[in-house]
């Protein structure tokens, strides 16, 4: 008999990006800082990409968020709007799930630069 526990292989958290429209911005470095919002900003903005992150069933938001942030930085977004962040178990997916939207700020029909990059993580 084999003594001890058998551990499942844990994959690192992954993020997928679905572009809604081009941001018109250059990609930022993978370690960029940008605000993480939990509700829609009070200023005009455009949703440019849907970003979904998934970690193992033992993961927490803090484990998955870096992968989601790297994906958001790649879109050139001004901020990341979190729509859902939760542990879940379903037929299709088990683990910690983050559903977010990369946004850029706009004024009228013109895109404006975002707020000062506070580095909120």
- Is 3 inside any structural domain? no
Does this model's pTM top 0.75? yes
The parent domain of residue 99 ranges over 14-111
- Is 63 inside any structural domain? yes
Q: Are 78 and 104 in contact (CB under 8 A)?
A: yes
- Is 120 inside any structural domain? no
- Is 75 inside any structural domain? yes
- Is 119 inside any structural domain? no
- Is 1 inside any structural domain? no
Q: What is the CATH number of the domain that holds 49?
A: 3.30.110
Q: If you average pLDDT over residues 7-32, what whole number do you get?
A: 88
Rg from Cα positions in the chain: 17
pLDDT tier, 63 (very low <50, low <70, confident <90, very high otherwise): very high
CA angle 55, 101, 16 (to 5 degrees): 40
Query: Total structural domains in the chain?
Result: 1
Q: If you average pLDDT over residues 71-100, what whole number do you get?
A: 93
| Phi, psi of 8, rounded to the nearest 5 degrees | -70, 145
How far apart CA 76 and CA 25 sit, in angstroms, is: 5
Q: Is the pLDDT of residue 117 over 50?
A: no
């Amino acid at each position: 008999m084999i003594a001890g526990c058998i551990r499942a292989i844990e994959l690192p958290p992954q993020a997928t990006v679905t572009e809604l429209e081009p941001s018109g911005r250059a990609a930022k470095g993978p370690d960029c800082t940008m605000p993480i919002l939990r509700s829609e900003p009070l200023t005009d903005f455009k949703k440019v990409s849907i970003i979904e992150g998934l970690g193992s069933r033992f993961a927490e938001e803090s484990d998955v968020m870096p992968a989601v942030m790297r994906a958001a930085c790649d879109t050139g977004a001004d901020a990341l709007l979190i729509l859902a962040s939760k542990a879940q178990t379903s037929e299709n997916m088990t683990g910690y799930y983050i559903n977010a939207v990369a946004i850029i700020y706009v004024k009228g029909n013109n895109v404006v630069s975002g707020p000062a990059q506070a580095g909120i993580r």
